[in-house]
C-alpha cells in the first residue's frame, strides 16, 4: 500500500470520526428529565411557568456538574432566585450573572416527557439541551475552571443490605429502582443501570458483588461491554423514627488502558552505559490515576430522614454519591484557560485503527485545544498540540480514552495505544533531542520497527492538516 493512499484513508476515516467524538463530548451539556410543575390562570400560563422554572433548575444543575464545589460560591441559584454568594476574588474569578433572556439564549432545545395538564396546572419531565460554546464562554468570562471530559461509562450494581439480607435482582429492591429512575448518562462520570433480567441474575449475585468476585464481575462487564463496574452498596438501618442510609460506591472491576510496567520495561527496555535500565518516565504515577484500584471506595455518604419515604431518601443519597465521585474526576480534568501551552507531540502506531483511536481521543478530550498535524506516515505522526492547564491532567484524560500520553524529558511528548507504547517508552532515541520522529532530511530516528517518515514535513507551528480547532 502506498503512503498517500493510507494517509487519505486515515483522513477520511477521521473526518467521519470527528462528528461522533464532538457529539459524545457535548452530552454533558444535556440535563435530562428535570421534573417540573406549576399552576396558572390558564393551561398556557401554567405550562410556560413550569418550563421556565425547569430551565432555571437545569442550568443550576449543569453549572454545578461542570465546576468544582469550591467554585459554587460564584454560581447563581437560579431556581431559588438568588445571586452568587461571593463577589470577585483576588484570583480574578467573578460571579456569574444570567438574566431570564440570557438563560433562554443559552438553551438549544428541550424535550418533554410524561406531560399532564389541566386548565390551570401543568406537570412533566423535561430534558434541556444547552449550547456548549455559549456555556463555555460564560465560565471562561468569569475565569472559573471547569471540566467537560467524561469517563468511560461504568455499569452500576445497586446492592441493598438490611437486617433481613442483601438484595440486587429481587423485585423488592427499591435501591435498584431508584438508580434506574435517575438519569446517569450525561454526568462527567456516566453510568448505566443493568437490565435485571435472567442473564444478569445468572451472571452475578448480590453476595458476589459485595465480595468483589472477579470472575462474576468480569462476566457481567463483558455482557454490557464496559471497562468498569461500580457496586453501589447501600446499608439501610432504622434509628428511632428515621431511616438511615449509608452508601458506598465501590470500584469493583476496572480494565485500564494503561500498559503494565512489566510490559513497558520488558525486553525492549534500553540499557544505559552503566548497565542500569532506563526508567525515565513522566507519565502519571499509579497513585495519580483515577479510579483504577479494585476495592477502592470512590464515594460515600450517610443520610437520614423520617421513615416512610425511601424513594426520596434514595434519590438524595444517589445525588450526593455521584457528586462526590465526580469531584475527583473533575479535579484531574479541569480546563483552566488562564494556563495554556503548545506541546510538540509525536504519535506511534502500527495500524490505521491505532491512529484513528489516537485521533478520536484527541478530539474527545476538552483539555486539548487546537491540534495541527505537520507530518504523517504509515507508522507515525508529528503534530503541535495546544493544551489547557497541567499536562498531567491531559495524561489522565487520555488514559481514560485508552491512549498513553507521556514524555521522556518534558521537551517532546508522545502518544500511542498501550500495546504500541510498550515498545517505545524508555527508549534512548526518544531522549535524544527535540526533533521528533523524523530527522531534518526525513530519515528514520528509530530502528526498522519504528515510524516510517512521511513524504513531506513542515516545521511551522500549527501548519498542515487541522485535526482539531480551539473550542
User: For residue 446, is pLDDT > 70?
Assistant: no
How much is the pLDDT for 288? 45
251 and 181 both lie in a single domain:
yes
- The DSSP secondary-structure symbol of 10 reads H
pTM: 0.73
For 350, 403, 436, the CA distances from 347, given in Å and listed in that order, are 10, 10, 9
Is 280 within a domain? no
Give the best-scoring range by mean pLDDT among 97-101, 238-242, 428-432. Answer: 97-101
Examine the fold and report which residue of 118, 141, 164 is the final residue of a domain before the chain moves on. Answer: 141
400 lies in a domain?
A: yes
Per the CB < 8 A criterion, the answer to whether 231 and 389 are in contact is no
Same domain, yes or no, for 13 and 63? no
Local confidence band at 434 (pLDDT 50, 70, 90 cut-offs): low
Pull the grid cell for residue 416.
500511542
Return phi, psi of residue 325, to 5°. Answer: -65, -45
Burial tier of 4 (Cβ tally within 10 Å: 0-12, 13-18, 19+): exposed
pLDDT at 105: 95
Same domain, 75 and 224: no
Sign of the CA dihedral 437, 441, 447, 449?
positive
**Considering the chain, what is the average pLDDT of its residues?**
82
Q: How many Å apart are CA 262 and CA 269, to the nearest integer? A: 10
Domain co-membership, 364 together with 402: yes
Which residue, among 53, 51, 65, has the nearest Cα to 189 in the 3D structure? 65
Residue 268 counted as domain residue: no
Min mean pLDDT across 15-19, 192-196, 465-469 is at 15-19
Is the pLDDT assigned to residue 73 strictly greater than 60?
Answer: yes
How far is the C-alpha of 123 from the C-alpha of 116, rounded, in Å?
5
Higher-confidence position of 438 and 388: 388
Q: Is 117 part of any domain?
A: yes
Q: Which three cell numbers stand for residue 383?
A: 503534530
Answer yes or no: is pLDDT of 263 > 70.
no
pLDDT tier at 447 (50, 70, 90 boundaries)?
very low
Mean pLDDT (whole number) for 171-183: 94
DSSP secondary structure string for all residues of 23-62: HHHGGGGEEEEEEEEEE-SSHHHHHHHHHHHHHHHHHHHH
The string of DSSP letters for 277-307 reads BP----SPPGGGSSS-STT-EEEEEEEEEET
Q: How confident is the model at residue 432 (pLDDT cuts 50, 70, 90)?
A: low
> What is residue 22's predicted lDDT score, i.e. its pLDDT?
35
Band the pLDDT of 448: cuts 50, 70, 90. Answer: very low
356 in the same domain as 379: yes
Query: CA distances (Å), 235 to each of 229, 242, 284, 326, 454, in order?
Result: 19, 14, 35, 22, 60
One domain for residues 122 and 182: no
Nearest C-alpha neighbor of 147 from the set 210, 213, 64 = 64
For residue 243, tell me if it sits in a domain.
yes
User: Is residue 268's pLDDT more than 80?
Assistant: no
78 & 95 share domain: yes
Distance CA 277, CA 267 (A): 11
Confidence of residue 118 (pLDDT cuts 50, 70, 90): very high
CB of 316 within 8 A of CB of 243?
A: no
371: domain range?
Answer: 3-25+335-468
CATH of the domain at 213: 3.40.50.10070
- Pick from 107, 141, 175: which residue ends a domain? 141
CB atoms within 10 A of CB 289: 18
- Tell me how far the alpha carbon of residue 421 is from its chain's centroid: 22
282 lies in some domain? no
Residue 286 lies in a domain: no
Please state, for a pLDDT cut of 70, what percent of the chain lies above it.
79
Q: How far is Cα 173 from Cα 168, in angstroms, rounded to an integer?
A: 6
Domain termination site, one of 141, 170, 197: 141
Please check whether residues 207 and 121 belong to one and the same domain: no
Residue 146 maps to a domain: no
Are 163 and 84 part of one and the same domain? no
Q: Is 212 exposed, middle or buried (0-12, 13-18, 19+ CB in 10 A)?
A: middle
> pLDDT band at 436, cuts 50/70/90?
low
| Residue 12 burial class via C-beta count within 10 angstroms: exposed 0-12, middle 13-18, buried 19 and up | exposed
Q: What was the pLDDT predicted at 433?
A: 54
| Helices vs strands, H then E, count in the chain | 13, 15
Average pLDDT on 240-247 reads 91
Distance CA 370, CA 469 (A): 4
Q: Are residues 108 and 184 in the same domain?
A: no
Query: How many structural domains is the chain composed of?
Result: 3
* Confidence label for 429 from pLDDT (cuts 50, 70 and 90): low
159 and 297, same domain (yes or no) = yes
Of 11, 16, 19, 24, the closest CA to residue 365 belongs to 24
> What string of DSSP letters covers 79-143?
TTTB--S----TTS-------HHHHHHHEEEEEEEEEEE-SSEEEEEEEEEE-HHHHHHHHHHTT
Based on the fold, state whether residues 198 and 298 are members of the same structural domain.
yes
Amino acid at each position: 500500500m502506498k503512503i498517500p493512499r493510507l494517509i487519505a484513508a486515515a483522513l477520511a476515516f477521521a473526518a467521519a470520526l470527528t462528528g461522533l467524538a464532538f457529539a459524545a463530548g457535548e452530552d454533558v451539556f444535556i440535563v435530562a428529565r428535570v421534573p417540573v410543575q406549576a399552576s396558572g390562570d390558564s393551561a398556557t400560563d401554567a405550562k410556560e411557568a413550569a418550563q421556565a422554572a425547569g430551565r432555571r433548575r437545569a442550568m443550576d444543575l449543569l453549572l454545578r456538574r461542570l465546576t468544582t464545589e469550591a467554585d459554587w460560591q460564584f454560581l447563581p441559584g437560579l431556581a431559588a432566585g438568588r445571586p452568587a454568594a461571593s463577589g470577585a476574588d483576588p484570583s480574578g474569578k467573578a460571579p456569574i450573572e444570567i438574566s431570564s433572556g440570557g438563560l433562554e439564549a443559552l438553551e438549544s432545545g428541550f424535550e418533554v416527557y410524561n406531560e399532564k395538564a389541566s386548565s390551570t396546572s401543568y406537570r412533566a419531565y423535561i430534558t434541556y439541551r444547552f449550547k456548549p460554546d455559549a456555556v463555555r464562554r460564560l465560565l471562561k468570562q468569569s475565569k472559573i475552571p471547569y471540566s467537560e471530559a467524561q469517563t468511560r461509562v461504568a455499569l452500576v450494581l445497586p446492592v441493598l443490605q438490611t437486617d433481613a439480607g442483601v438484595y440486587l435482582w429481587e423485585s423488592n429492591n427499591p435501591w435498584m429502582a431508584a438508580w434506574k429512575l435517575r438519569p446517569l448518562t450525561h454526568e462527567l462520570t456516566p453510568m448505566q443501570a443493568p437490565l435485571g433480567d435472567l442473564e444478569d441474575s445468572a451472571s452475578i449475585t448480590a453476595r458476589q458483588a459485595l465480595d468483589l468476585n472477579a470472575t462474576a464481575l468480569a462476566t457481567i462487564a463483558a455482557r454490557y461491554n464496559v471497562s468498569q463496574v461500580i457496586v453501589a452498596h447501600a446499608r439501610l438501618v432504622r434509628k428511632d423514627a428515621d431511616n438511615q442510609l449509608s452508601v458506598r460506591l465501590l470500584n469493583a472491576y476496572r480494565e485500564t488502558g494503561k500498559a503494565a510496567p512489566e510490559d513497558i520495561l520488558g525486553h525492549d527496555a534500553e540499557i544505559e552505559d552503566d548497565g542500569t535500565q532506563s526508567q525515565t518516565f513522566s507519565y502519571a504515577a499509579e497513585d495519580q490515576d483515577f479510579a483504577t484500584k479494585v476495592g477502592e471506595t470512590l464515594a460515600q455518604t450517610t443520610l437520614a430522614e423520617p421513615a416512610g419515604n425511601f424513594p426520596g431518601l434514595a434519590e438524595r443519597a444517589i445525588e450526593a454519591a455521584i457528586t462526590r465521585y465526580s469531584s475527583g474526576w473533575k479535579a484531574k480534568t479541569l480546563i483552566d484557560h488562564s494556563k495554556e501551552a503548545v506541546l510538540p507531540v509525536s504519535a506511534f502506531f502500527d495500524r490505521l485503527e491505532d491512529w484513528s483511536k489516537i485521533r478520536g481521543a484527541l478530539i474527545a478530550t476538552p483539555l486539548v485545544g487546537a491540534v495541527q498535524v505537520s507530518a504523517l506516515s504509515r507508522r507515525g505522526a508529528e503534530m503541535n498540540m495546544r493544551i489547557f492547564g497541567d499536562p498531567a491532567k491531559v495524561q489522565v484524560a487520555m488514559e481514560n480514552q485508552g491512549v498513553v500520553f507521556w514524555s521522556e524529558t518534558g521537551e517532546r511528548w508522545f502518544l500511542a495505544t498501550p500495546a504500541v507504547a510498550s515498545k517505545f517508552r524508555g527508549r534512548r532515541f526518544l531522549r535524544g533531542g527535540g526533533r521528533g520522529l523524523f530527522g531534518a532530511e526525513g530519515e528514520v530516528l528509530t530502528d526498522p520497527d519504528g515510524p516510517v517518515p512521511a513524504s513531506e514535513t513542515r516545521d511551522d507551528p500549527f501548519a498542515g492538516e487541522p485535526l482539531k480547532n480551539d473550542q
